[in-house]
């Protein structure tokens, strides 16, 4: 069968095989590069002037400090050290006091307080399980014959009827930092037994990292389907 393939068909197969082999590496590089550049840019405004001053003071010895790759690398290291220091401080009493002082300061800035407070609440609720439902769920999107993965961020009640509603954040693939916010009736939600880490792996991998079986129908519908099946005749 393979002997009958033309040269063009063989090249096409080789190209597709190579593309599928290199695509995961390329996606990994894109994500890692995005994170590294983002972290490095945080410290660049402080690192670059310092390195430039050192290089100008002794150009023969420290002239290499003005190289862009050196500045990017040192800025990344500086950001990582600051993150580690912040993590260490938050585990200490003094760090918690500093964090409280910083949050109080942010609270007096109108726009910053809204953004910081919303981001803080989102990160906090993703680390805990909401009352009465699973954190990671499936909802109908964009129609009832398709499902998408989401995170329940809040459970509310409909005004007038008291029906339970869930605010569900639906992240996009492969970048989960953007997404949609859906308000879904609780009976339309399909719970899963996934934790947040498993759900994030599923989203970032485009569904490649997933269990062999997942629930699809909400529990109420599953029960209806089961009860609708007639019992076997004696």
> Which residues make beta-bridge pairs with 181?
169
Write the pLDDT tens digit of every residue in 104-147.
888 888 887 788 877 777 777 666 665 555 688 999 988 888 99
Which pLDDT does position 73 carry in this prediction? Answer: 84
Beta strands 164-171 and 179-185: pairing type?
antiparallel
Low-confidence ranges of the chain (pLDDT < 50): 1-2, 224-234
Residues of the chain within CATH 2.30.30 domain(s) are: 136-208
Q: How many CB atoms lie within 10 A of CB 151?
A: 23
- Looking at residue 107, the DSSP 8-state letter turns out to be T
Q: How many CB atoms lie within 10 A of CB 82?
A: 14
Phi, psi of 164, rounded to the nearest 5 degrees: -75, 135
CATH class of the domain at 136-208: mainly beta
User: Which residues make Cβ contacts (< 8 Å) with residue 116, sequence separation at least 6?
Assistant: 103, 106
DSSP state letters, 131-184: TTS-SEEEEE-SSTT-EEEEEEEEEEE-TTT--EEEEEEEE-SS-TTSEEEEEE
The first and second tokens of residue 156, run together, are 């509310």
User: Which residues make Cβ contacts (< 8 Å) with residue 10, sequence separation at least 6?
Assistant: none
Which pLDDT does position 183 carry in this prediction? Answer: 93
Q: Global pTM?
A: 0.54
């Amino acid at each position: 069968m393979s002997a009958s393939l033309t040269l063009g068909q063989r090249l096409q197969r080789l190209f597709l095989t190579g593309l599928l082999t290199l695509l995961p590496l390329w996606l990994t590089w894109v994500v890692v590069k995005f994170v590294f550049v983002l972290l490095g840019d945080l410290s660049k405004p402080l690192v670059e002037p310092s390195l430039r001053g050192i290089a100008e003071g002794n150009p023969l010895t420290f002239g290499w400090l003005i190289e862009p790759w050196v500045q990017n690398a040192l800025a990344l290291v500086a950001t990582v050290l600051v993150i580690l220091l912040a993590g260490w401080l938050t585990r200490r009493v003094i760090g918690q006091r500093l964090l409280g002082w910083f949050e109080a300061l942010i609270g007096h800035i109108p726009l910053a307080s809204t953004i910081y407070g919303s981001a803080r609440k989102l990160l906090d609720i993703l680390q805990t399980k909401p009352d009465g439902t699973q954190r990671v769920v499936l909802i109908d999107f964009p129609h009832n014959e398709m499902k998408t993965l989401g995170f329940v961020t809040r459970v509310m009640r409909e005004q007038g009827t008291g029906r339970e509603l869930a605010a569900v954040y639906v992240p996009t693939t492969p970048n989960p930092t953007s997404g949609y916010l859906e308000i879904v009736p609780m009976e339309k939600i399909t719970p899963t037994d996934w934790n947040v880490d498993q759900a994030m792996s599923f989203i970032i991998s485009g569904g490649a990292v997933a269990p062999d079986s997942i629930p699809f129908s909400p529990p109420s519908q599953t029960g209806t389907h089961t009860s609708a099946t007639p019992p076997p005749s004696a």
